[in-house]
Amino acid sequence: MRICTPHCGIDPETTSGGETYERELLRSLAGRGVVLDILLARHKRHPEGVPNWVIHRLPIGRGLLWPVSAAVLPPAIHRVYKETRFDLLRAHSLRFIGPGALLARRLYRLPVPIVAHHHHIDPNWLNPLIEGQIMRRVERVVVGSEFGRRQAAADLGVPPEQFSVVPYGVDPSFGPRPKSEALAQRLGLDGSAVAIFLGGLKARKNLSFLLAVWRDVVREREQSRLVVAGSGPLLEPLRRLAARLGIARHVVFAGYVAERDKVDYYNLADALIFPSFMEGFGLTVAEGMSCGLPVIASNRGSLPEVLVDGEGGFLCDPTDREAFVRRTLLVLSDAALRRKFGEANRARVDRLFRWERCAEGTERVYEDVLERWRRRREA
């Protein structure tokens, strides 16, 4: 199978969960023998030396702005089709890639099906005009969770049968390992209980709530530390909030964490706290679980499909501060419970959430779409 996949980015050091998904899924698909024609802007980085990846540079020096992608992509997709005769066209983003993919097929009469990939819907008045229309006009939409399917069906009226659910994956390198003493020393962690949040510092991650939770936690466990690992527009406002709450010395803002360093950060911690209002899958939660961490997470979005409440940690309402405080204190105070939850989480990820499993399921969707497409054309 040969697939054309125009891309906004697959950077080796991305801070985006969606881009991490793309990079790792495409790498795993290539490992299964799928040939991928990847269209990237000239300045965009990508992992080097991946077998079965063919990089085609777009005639732009910057990333794709969604209003212009519909003009840039169709001739580029047509050019790649003439060179390769790919079997399937893939749209990793409904808004950025979807319109260009559909326009390319119509303008150049490309005899290929289109499969789109989707994570979750953020509120926007354009959603019914772009995302909803693209979902209806492509042959299939792959989502990472039942929540993603339900949300799109409810908010945009897209028939549920238009979707295939294939959960995301986690690399096996995310696993338990000895704590990095050098990293602990650099962050000023002195052996006390540590909880971690890792991810982009953005509004839907609910981080002001997390700091309020931590203020109540340290009233009971004064030596505990919270590591907030990640970068984003809220970094300085969160620093100021921690100071106003009187917990500045109890919170370590680690800033940007390189992909290669994530495992060491997870293994510094006794627990992962993730109160996000909405996730299309929740890669951070799955990565922490893979590292053997117990997790206290929001019960919103897709997270209840990743973490089992009472088995690998706790799911709480992301507006219920008392529940988050109570569960966090319980986990931090009970080493046997942490071990039990961590072992269950690691086993669950091994069973359900590895990239090879994700790639296998995704390839089955592509094969099904291709078979149905060819039958219709023959008929």
Q: Are residues 193 and 339 in the same domain?
A: yes
Residues 6+ apart with CB under 8 A from 64: 8, 41, 58, 72, 73, 96, 97
Q: Are residues 139 and 28 in the same domain?
A: yes
Is 70 exceeded by the pLDDT of residue 61? Answer: no
Is 80 exceeded by the pLDDT of residue 67? Answer: no
pTM: 0.93
Calculate the average pLDDT of the chain.
94
Interhelix angle 321-333/207-220, rounded to 10 degrees, is: 50
**SS3 call for 232:** coil
Q: Is residue 207 part of a domain?
A: yes
CA 92 to each of CA 18, 35, 117: distance values in angstroms, whole numbers, following the listed order: 9, 16, 5
Q: Would you say 193 and 273 are in contact if contact means Cβ atoms under 8 Å apart?
A: no
Q: Is residue 292 part of a domain?
A: yes
What span, in angstroms and rounded, lies between the C-alpha atoms of 377 and 379? 5
Q: Is residue 175 part of a domain?
A: no
**Of 100, 71, 63, 105, residue with least CA distance to 86:** 105
Chain centroid offset of residue 294 CA: 19
Indicate which CATH number applies to the domain containing 374: 3.40.50.2000
Is 70 exceeded by the pLDDT of residue 63? Answer: no
For the chain, what is the domain count? 2
Q: Are residues 188 and 247 in the same domain?
A: yes
Q: Which band of pLDDT confidence, cut at 50, 70 and 90, is reported for residue 378?
A: confident
Q: What token pair was written down for 118?
A: 């989707």
Q: Are residues 318 and 369 in the same domain?
A: no
Chain centroid offset of residue 370 CA: 26
Count of other CB atoms within 10 angstroms of residue 334: 13
Q: Are residues 329 and 359 in the same domain?
A: no
Q: Are residues 137 and 186 in the same domain?
A: no
Range of the domain at 28: 2-169+355-378
**SS3 call for 295:** strand
DSSP annotation string for 27-79? HHHHHTT-EEEEEE-TT----SS-TTEEEEE-S-SSPPPHHHHHHHHHHHHHH
Is 80 exceeded by the pLDDT of residue 68? Answer: no
Query: What's residue 109's pLDDT?
Result: 96
**Of 92, 82, 195, 178, residue with least CA distance to 134:** 92
pLDDT in tens, 113-136: 999 999 888 888 888 999 999 999
